[in-house]
Structure 1
């Protein structure tokens, strides 16, 4: 059977898969050629040397992260949808995101998602510094959540275990709370709950204080 001609996208797809699975240190031209069933010289012809390949992967990641689009009927729903998609994209490609960061392109990578958030924040009636605060708060919530998840995944086995730490006493005599906290958290549900609460609070009109009338 005749093999379909290798393309630049084929090379980048295979390289991205290797980086996602094993990290950039595992990406060698020889290993990539073996994955594709081709000669190393063919890889060089399509993407140049390894550094050029890494640059291409970074540019591709930045481009893919720019494809985030909001969904929903209200500004709040659309902001949550952007946060949800951003969270998923960051979590699914940690090694590629790290490469983007190392090359000083993090701000550029986040710009399209920030612009989508700006549009929805404007639709919610917020402007200026207040709008910027909402955009940054959502972004920091997403990035912070991903970092906590990654650190949790890398953490050693805990001793004492969570179930040994939580009882009626440590939960202030709330046994239902103790049982809940002794079980592993559901990251998806926790993220959804926290980001919805954050967005709801951020989009609320600021409380208006009235100066006391001395008369």
Structure 2
């Protein structure tokens, strides 16, 4: 007796199996957690859907059901990492709140240093930005006395500063030929000429491997803590000075 053919599969959500879910239901949150772990391990450039599917023990199509594109996977992973920056927000003077925001942002990137290039140079995070964090930033700038175009300018200054130090600090050395690259950095520093570059030469001993451009170690392993605190002081004082100048101009 001929075997009855199986009924045709209907289009729709992929069927789950024990192997598909690896003991847990597949969800957008679980996918993004796995994506973030992969990016933390190998960086965003090497991140791909096929490897993520292998980690989750699913077919790639099952991932696309929850997260429709690679860009959304990466932006969602960044948003997941940034989640909590605005939690338990400090109260009090706007200067203290601004300093706290700068420190928290850096703390997040230090936990996920491979995300630093994304937040520094790509707009991909804009698709899933943290509205609560941005609201806190705008509120503290209002409290500082900014409004209108002046507030927009101050917002851009603070946000660029917030990303700038941490992403530069966490810049990574090349993985290919790392030893040769470090030797080249050291040799370049050693070639500083005390006659032609006297100011740099006078301070080179204190600056090497502790100052931007003059280092071969990433801030992931050798953080620039004192420089970061000095930078916070400069940013806060600069915003204060800018707010005062705008108020004087408006009243005049």
Q: Give the TM-score range, shorter chain.
A: 0.5 to 0.7
Give the whole-Å Cα distance in 2 for the aligned partners of 1:99 and 1:44: 28
Equivalent position of 2:10 in the other structure? none
Contact map agreement 1:72 1:81 (CA 8 A) in 2: no
Within 5 A, what are the aligned runs for 1:130-209? 130-151=150-171, 153-154=173-174, 156-157=181-182, 158-162=185-189, 165=192, 170-171=198-199, 177-185=203-211, 186-204=223-241, 205-206=244-245, 208=248
Give the whole-Å Cα distance in 2 for the aligned partners of 1:126 and 1:198: 15
> How far off is 1:89 after superposition?
3.3
One of 82, 85, 88 as aligned partner of 1:68: 85
Equivalent position of 1:118 in the other structure? 138
Runs of 4 or more, structure 1, over 6 Å off, are 166-169
One of 7, 10, 16 as aligned partner of 2:36: 16
* Contiguous gaps of at least 5 residues in structure 2: 1-21, 212-222
Give the whole-Å Cα distance in 2 for the aligned partners of 1:183 and 1:64: 28
> How far off is 1:120 after superposition?
0.7
Give the whole-Å Cα distance in 2 for the aligned partners of 1:134 and 1:29: 39
- Larger Rg computed on CA atoms: 2
* Contiguous gaps of at least 5 residues in structure 1: 210-215
Structure 1 or 2: larger helix share? Answer: 1
TM-score normalised according to structure 1 size: 0.68
> How far off is 1:15 after superposition?
2.0
Q: Deviations over 1:19-55 (max 9, x none)?
A: 222234544455334434x3x33x6335438853652
The root-mean-square deviation of aligned C-alpha atoms, in Å, is 4.0
> How far off is 1:188 after superposition?
2.9
Equivalent residue pairs, number = 202
Give the whole-Å Cα distance in 2 for the aligned partners of 1:202 and 1:96: 24
TM-score normalised according to structure 2 size: 0.60
Q: Deviations over 1:150-190 (max 9, x none)?
A: 556449331435366386982389x6x44322352452321
Out of 102-111 and 4-13, give the one that drifted further: 102-111
> How far off is 1:65 after superposition?
3.4
